């Protein structure tokens, strides 16, 4: 298995179906539960484990999910409401030693739960044509809502599997 891409690299289908969209919404909604299952009964020092040499720790992965999925959710909200997002949805701002301790870890878990829940609830009952809405050309490569769902469902599963590997599960 490739620890850098444990579920493979992102592949966006050429012909996205309703089944694909439903699966991605399900993945987004279930991410917090799956992460909680992986983190059950771990010791604080295990949050410093990495999935490969020189990679982010479990603690950093959790924070990265928050700091990328929160603006991603906001962008999708703006797209649905016909507004223009003003920033890319995937910042890379991980800072060493900034997210230590039990409180930061628990806060990240709570934020993941809230973001993913709101995200799934926002898009679950949208009419099918809404998934073709796109960001403006100047924003994030003018991806459609359905493509962004694919990207973030993959992104969450990708890092959840990094956590699984780091914890030896």
Vertex 32, ends 26 and 38: CA angle to 5°?
115
Least confident of 21-35, 66-80, 107-121: 66-80
Q: Give the residue carrying structure tokens 């969209």.
A: 21
Judged against a pLDDT cut of 70, whether residue 16 lies above it is answered with yes
pLDDT of the residue at 83: 77
Which of 4-13, 48-57, 100-109 shows the lowest mean pLDDT across its residues? 100-109
Are 94 and 64 a contacting pair, CB within 8 Å? yes
Query: pLDDT tens for residues 118-150?
Result: 999 999 999 999 999 887 665 556 788 999 999
Distance between CA 109 and CA 8 in Å, rounded?
25
pLDDT category of residue 166 using cuts at 50, 70 and 90 = very high
Higher pLDDT, 157 or 83: 157
Higher pLDDT, 100 or 108: 108
Structure tokens at 46: 């295990």
**Can you give the pLDDT at residue 72?**
87
The token pair at 6 is: 């444990």
Say what percent of the chain tops pLDDT 70: 83
Q: What is the pLDDT averaged over residues 160-164?
A: 98
H-helix segments, 8-130: 18-39, 58-80, 102-124
Q: What is the pLDDT of residues 52-71, one digit of tens each?
A: 999 999 999 998 899 889 88
């Amino acid at each position: 298995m490739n620890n850098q891409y444990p579920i493979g690299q992102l592949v966006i289908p050429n012909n996205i179906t309703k089944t694909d969209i439903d699966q991605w919404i399900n993945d987004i909604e279930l991410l917090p539960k799956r992460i909680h299952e992986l983190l059950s009964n771990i010791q604080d020092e295990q949050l410093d484990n990495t999935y490969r040499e020189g990679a982010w720790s479990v603690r950093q992965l959790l924070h990265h999910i928050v700091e990328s999925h929160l603006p991603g959710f906001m962008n999708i909200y703006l797209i649905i409401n016909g507004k223009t997002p003003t920033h890319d949805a995937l910042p890379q701002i991980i800072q060493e030693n900034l997210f230590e301790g039990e409180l930061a870890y628990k806060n990240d878990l709570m934020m993941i739960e809230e973001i993913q829940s709101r995200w799934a609830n926002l898009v679950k009952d949208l009419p099918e044509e809404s998934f073709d809405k796109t960001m403006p050309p100047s924003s994030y490569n003018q991806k459609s809502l359905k493509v962004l769902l694919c990207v973030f469902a993959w992104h969450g599963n990708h890092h959840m599997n990094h956590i699984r590997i780091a914890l030896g599960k």
